[in-house]
Chain A
Amino acid sequence: MQKHLSAAGARPAARIITLALAMLIAACQSSSTGQSSSPPSTRYPLTIQESNGSTVTIAQRPVRIVSLSPSATEMLFAINAGPQVIAVDEQSNYPSTAPVTKLSGFTPNVEAIAAYRPDLVVAADDTGGLVHALSVLGIPTLIEPAARNLDDSYAQVEQLGEATSRQSEAQGLVKQMRSQITAAVATITKPSRRLKVYHELDDTYYSATSKTFIGQVYALLGLANIADVATGAASDYPQLSSEYIVSSSPDLIVLADTKCCHQSASTVAARPGWGSIAAVRSGQVIGVDDDVASRWGPRVVDFLVAVATHVRQLEAINA
C-alpha cells in the first residue's frame, strides 16, 4: 500500500530531474514544425526537424507509439492519438486509459523498449544515448523536452499532431487551451499592488522561477514570483532558504507537493516562523495536484484556472 502510494503519487524529484535535464535540450528547441497551417493529414515518410539540428524520419503513420514522458502521454491522448499508443512509462498515470508499463523514462532500458516493437518513441530527453541506441534498431525517437513556456507546449502538441497525423485535433486542442487561458486571465483585474507567489515543489523548498512554464502561468496572472530573485543558484528550479521565504511573506503559496511530501495548509502553518507569512495568515495556501502543476501538457490549463481562482479571492481581500 505504501509502496503503491509512493509509486503512484510521489514524483516531484523525477519531475524536476526531467525538467532540469530537459532544460538543456529545451534551450535549443524551436517550434519549427507543425505551426504552419498544414494539410489535414500527414504525408509519410515525414521528416521532423528537431531544434538541436537532428532530424527524425517517421516512415509511416505510427500505430505502435511508446511514450516515456508523462506530459507527452497526456498530449497524445488529448489529440486522440491514444489508440496509436501501445506503452507508456511508469510515471504516465494520466489519463487512466494509458497503457502503463514498467518502462522508465529516467533510466530507459532500450531492450525493454524495443521489445514492444515501437514504430515511434516519444521521450522528454535523450537519457543515456537513448536516441542513438534506438536509431540503430531503426526506431525513430521524438524528443519533447520540458517546456519553458506555454508556446513550447503548444508547439509540442502540434508537433505530436503532425507526427501522428492528428493535425486537426492538435490544432483544436491548442486553440482550446489558448482560449481557456485567455478567459481565465481576463477574469483577473489589475491589482493595485503586485501580489507575491511562492510555488513549492517539495518540502525542502525547491521552487520554480519565471523561466519555467510554471513561472509563466504566474506571470500571466500578474503575480510576482519570489523565486526570481534566486539568480545566484543558476538554476530555474532553485532551492530557496526558509528565511528568505518567510521574509518575502508571499501573498499566495501554491503547494505542488501535496502528493509527494504530504504537504498542506496545516503543515505549512506548523513550520517554524511560517505563521507570520501573509498567505498563511489569510488562508491563501493552496494545494494543487503535483502532476497537474508539473506537466506541460493540456492540464496546464487546469493549473492556471485553479491559481486564477485564488488570485481573484486575494484581489477581493485586498480591494
Chain B
Amino acid sequence: MTVQAVAAQVRIPGLPRLRWLWTAAGVVALLAAALLGVLVGPAHISPAAVLQALTGSSIDPGQATILWQLRLPRVVLGALVGGMLATAGAAYQGVFRNPLADPYLLGAAAGANLGATLAIAYGPGASGIGVNIVPIAAFAGAASAVGAAYVLGRTVTGLRSTTALILAGVAVATFFNAVQTFVQQSQTDTIRQVYTWILGRLVTAGWDGVFLVLPYIAISLVVIVLHRRLLDVLSVGDDEATSLGISARRIRLVVVIAATLGTAAAVAIAGTIAFVGIIVPHTVRLLTGRSYRVVIPLSIFFGGAFLVLADTAARTVVAPAELSIGVLTAFIGAPFFIAVMRSTRAAEL
C-alpha cells in the first residue's frame, strides 16, 4: 500500500479527477442498457410482465423461465464480459503506453482460440465427462500464451522492455494462430463450431456461466482499479516512476497478470469478442480526459453497457436467428476506431 500512497500523492499536472457526474452517467448507462436487454428479445414478453417479474410478482411460468434462465443471465454476463474487456484494454494501454493495446495484445485471443479449437476438435463432448471443457481449455490457452509472451519478452535485451513484450506477444500470437489454423483445417468437421466460437457468443449455460467467470473478473477488476493511480505514474515514464520509488516492472507484471486473468475468464465463456477493449476506453478518454483514475472505473460501466447493447442487437436484429456478437462489436468498432484515430492528433491520447 505504500506504493499506492506514494502514487496518490504524485500530482501530474493536467490530469482530471473522476467526477461524480461521470460515475453517475456510467451507472445509469449500464442500468439502462441492462433494462433494455431484459425488455427486448426474440420471445415476446410484454414490458409490463418483465417489470412485474423484476419487482417480485409472479408471471406466466413459461415467460418467467425465459426471463430468469435465459435473458437475465445473458445480460449479466454481457455486463461482466464487456466491463472486463474494456477495463483490461485500458490497463494494457496504460501498462504499454500504447493506444493500440487491447486485451489480446500479448496473445490472449490466439491462445484462447487454440485452446478452444483443440477442445472442440479432439475433446470429448460435455456429456462424455460431465463438464464442458471448452472454456477450461480456452482459459488455459489464453493464460499460457500471455505467460509465454511475458517470459520471452523478458529474455530480450537491447529493446525497451515494453517494446520487447509487445513483439514477443505478436510472435506468440502468430505462432498460436498458425497451430490453430492447422488444427482447424485438418478437422473440417468442426470448422463451424470453431468459427462460431471465435466470433464470440454470450449464449451460456444460464447462471452457471456467470458464476464460473465472476470470481476471476471480480479479482481482476479490483486489482486493476487499485492500480489506476500507478498507471498514471507509469504514463510519464519508467525512469520517473523509479525516481519515486515505484518499480515500473513490478506494477506492469501485477497489472498484466490481473488483466490477463480477467480477459482469459471472459474469452473462455464468451469467445474472443473484438474491439471492446479498444473502443470503450478510448471513448471514455475522449469524453473525460486521459487519467487512468477516470478511465479505468468508467470503462467498467461503459464497457458493460456497450456489450449488453451489442448483444441485445445480436439477438434481435435477425430474430429469431442470432448474429455473432463479434460481428457487431467489430462492425461498430472499426469505423469508430478510425474516427478515434483521426481525432487523436488533436486530443493527443
Q: A313 on the interface (CB 8 Å rule)?
A: no
Query: Could you tell me which residues of chain A, from 120 to 144, have a CB within 8 Å of some CB in chain B?
Result: none
Contact (A246, B320) CB under 8 Å given A6-B187, A104-B188, A204-B201: no
Q: B73 on the interface (CB 8 Å rule)?
A: yes
Is B321 in contact with A233, judged by CB distance below 8 angstroms? yes
Minimal Cβ-Cβ distance residue in B for A245: B320
Q: A182 on the interface (CB 8 Å rule)?
A: no
Q: B196 on the interface (CB 8 Å rule)?
A: yes
- Size range of the chain A interface in the assembly: 35 or more
Is B126 in contact with A262, judged by CB distance below 8 angstroms? yes
The one of A202, A204, A243, A276 in contact with B61, judged by C-beta atoms closer than 8 angstroms, is: A276
Q: B205 on the interface (CB 8 Å rule)?
A: yes
Is B189 in contact with A233, judged by CB distance below 8 angstroms? no
Contact (A264, B65) CB under 8 Å given A12-B192, A204-B203: no
Q: Which of A13-21, A39-47, A171-179 contacts B (4 or more CB under 8 A)?
A: A13-21
Q: Which of A22-30, A49-57, A267-275 contacts B (4 or more CB under 8 A)?
A: A267-275
Is A241 in contact with B315, judged by CB distance below 8 angstroms? yes
Q: A34 on the interface (CB 8 Å rule)?
A: no
The one of B61, B73, B190, B321 in contact with A10, judged by C-beta atoms closer than 8 angstroms, is: B190
Is A242 in contact with B70, judged by CB distance below 8 angstroms? yes
Q: Which of B1-9, B40-48, B97-105, B145-153 contacts A (4 or more CB under 8 A)?
A: B40-48
Q: Which residues of A contact B122 (CB under 8 A)?
A: 2-3, 6
Total number of residue pairs linking A and B with CB closer than 8 Å:
143
The distance in angstroms between the C-alpha atoms of A140 and B318, with both chains bound, is 41
Query: Could you tell me which residues of chain B, from 62 to 117, have a CB within 8 Å of some CB in chain A?
Result: 62-63, 65-66, 69-71, 73
Most buried by A among B189, B195, B196, B322: B189
Query: Could you tell me which residues of chain B, from 195 to 218, have a CB within 8 Å of some CB in chain A?
Result: 195-196, 201, 203, 205-208
Query: Could you tell me which residues of chain B, from 51 to 69, have a CB within 8 Å of some CB in chain A?
Result: 61-63, 65-66, 69
The distance in angstroms between the C-alpha atoms of A127 and B318, with both chains bound, is 29
Contact (A273, B70) CB under 8 Å given A91-B189, A241-B315, A242-B203: yes
Is B128 in contact with A202, judged by CB distance below 8 angstroms? no
Is A7 in contact with B187, judged by CB distance below 8 angstroms? yes
**29 A-B pairs whose Cβ atoms sit less than 8 Å apart in the complex:** A6-B121, A6-B187, A10-B189, A11-B188, A13-B195, A16-B192, A17-B191, A106-B188, A204-B201, A232-B317, A233-B318, A238-B321, A239-B322, A240-B321, A242-B203, A243-B42, A244-B43, A247-B43, A247-B44, A247-B63, A249-B62, A262-B127, A263-B125, A263-B127, A267-B126, A271-B205, A271-B206, A272-B207, A273-B66
Binding site for B on A (CB under 8 A): 2-3, 6-7, 10-17, 91, 104, 106-107, 202-206, 226, 229-230, 232-235, 238-249, 260-264, 266-267, 271-273, 275-276
